[in-house]
Chains A and B, each alone.
Chain A
């Protein structure tokens, strides 16, 4: 084992309470981040499901021939954004409305609902701007009596998703900042505790890189352990929520590895920022 690694582990041995405390604090920071990440992940998954239902409905004007409707459907189906075009007859529309309304199904009478072309968009083309652009093009067709796509609803959906993403980024950065500050403080204490050794190392000609390395290893190891602990806590919380509240989905393996690696990187960065600053004072 190299001296740097040994010294890093000696740091744990010399001040076990401080080391455990710093790992716990990092773990709780990352745990909060993990919990929010879990919420964000599930919101996004739910939104993705809802997003699948985004469609544009072009109502067919009275007197439009079946041939004209069919030609228009073929034409619209060739739009690059369009996944599918379904012709819904007046009867089918009535059937669908009755099914959706359940006990109020008898409010509709035959012939009251117009036939329509229901246009599904490809994934990646379901944002408000694209939906509006396709809807505007549909309005230019003669067959189209009216075109609806739940404009407000689509925009609201995207707003929720954007807010969730933004909140995730802001909170994630805030927690990352807290983790860096905490690691920085523990490293500062470690630097002060080892001031005598550092002074001797400098005196006999150890390079700055060599002097820094145990602290960087120390920070990265604490970050990793904090990440693993945070992962365990997040998993326990997830299990309890799934069991007692709502079925949710957990991070996949890549995200789990990325989460623990983020702990290591945070530990390393916190360490690097702190050690450079405090070594000057030793």
Chain B
């Protein structure tokens, strides 16, 4: 699903963000990305949805190569992905259902398919009763569930979550994490960046640890037994 091959990324202001990072994530895995702030977690996620391109090396995601892809094809890749952020990134002036429907509309979903799909997604994330609420009327955990529902709108094969529980209390964190586990159990690959080491320890999922732009630890894949180890990391 994801293959990083000797990927290096440097930003003009902050310097080297990733240095020759290589790893592979198989279809159906649930992988944590951990490490201190500035270690390169968000950069890896941005490279996955091609918000940034590697300076050297290759990123392959869902069959698409960062080397070969043209700018016009980036939207096609993103329709196969769902992305979630710490700060939810919801549209405050639209209701919950409008926020989710928006993702379907802008990707050209048939108008008559949107309402039933939004209803199904809201049921999936446990917010069927909040369809007409505005984001400001919801708790942090609920807002993140809306963001997850939006991320699932285009039936992604991979969900990329950047600190999705970073702004949530423990109870909400558990709820959101369980939701992500359920989504993973249904076959969707998930890569989640987090600072929450307690969550990582409890979850027993594969963990990739970054430090100063290098991959320093890969726990392997205990559940699937695929053992995708770090390849050539420093």
* Interface positions of A (Cβ within 8 A of B): 3, 196-197, 199-208, 210-211
User: Does B150 interact with chain A (Cβ within 8 Å)?
Assistant: yes
User: Does B76 interact with chain A (Cβ within 8 Å)?
Assistant: yes
Select the residue from B75, B102, B106, B154 with max chain A CB neighbours within 10 A: B106
| Interchain nearest-CB distance for A205 vs B (Å) | 4
User: Does B153 interact with chain A (Cβ within 8 Å)?
Assistant: yes
User: Does B26 interact with chain A (Cβ within 8 Å)?
Assistant: no
Which of B78, B102, B150 makes the CB contact (< 8 A) with A202? B78
User: Does B115 interact with chain A (Cβ within 8 Å)?
Assistant: no
Q: Which residues of B are found within 8 Å of A211, using beta-carbon distances?
A: 106
- Quick check: A203 and B91 within 8 Å, CB to CB? no
B95-116 vs A, Cβ < 8 Å mask (1 yes, 0 no):
0000000110111100000000
Q: Which residues of B are found within 8 Å of A205, using beta-carbon distances?
A: 75-79, 81, 106-107, 154
- Quick check: B107 and A199 within 8 Å, CB to CB? no
- Quick check: A200 and B103 within 8 Å, CB to CB? yes
Q: Which residues of A are found within 8 Å of B103, using beta-carbon distances?
A: 200, 204
Which of B49, B77, B106, B154 makes the CB contact (< 8 A) with A210? B106
- Quick check: B91 and A204 within 8 Å, CB to CB? no
Q: Which residues of A are found within 8 Å of B91, using beta-carbon distances?
A: 196-197, 200
Kindly report which residue of chain A lies nearest to residue B71, judged by CB atoms: A208
Q: Give 15 pairs: A residue, B residue, CB < 8 Å, sorted on A.
A: A3-B106, A196-B89, A196-B91, A200-B103, A201-B106, A203-B89, A204-B79, A204-B107, A204-B150, A205-B77, A205-B107, A207-B72, A208-B72, A208-B75, A210-B108
- Quick check: A203 and B105 within 8 Å, CB to CB? no
- Quick check: B106 and A204 within 8 Å, CB to CB? yes
- Quick check: B102 and A203 within 8 Å, CB to CB? no
User: Does B83 interact with chain A (Cβ within 8 Å)?
Assistant: yes
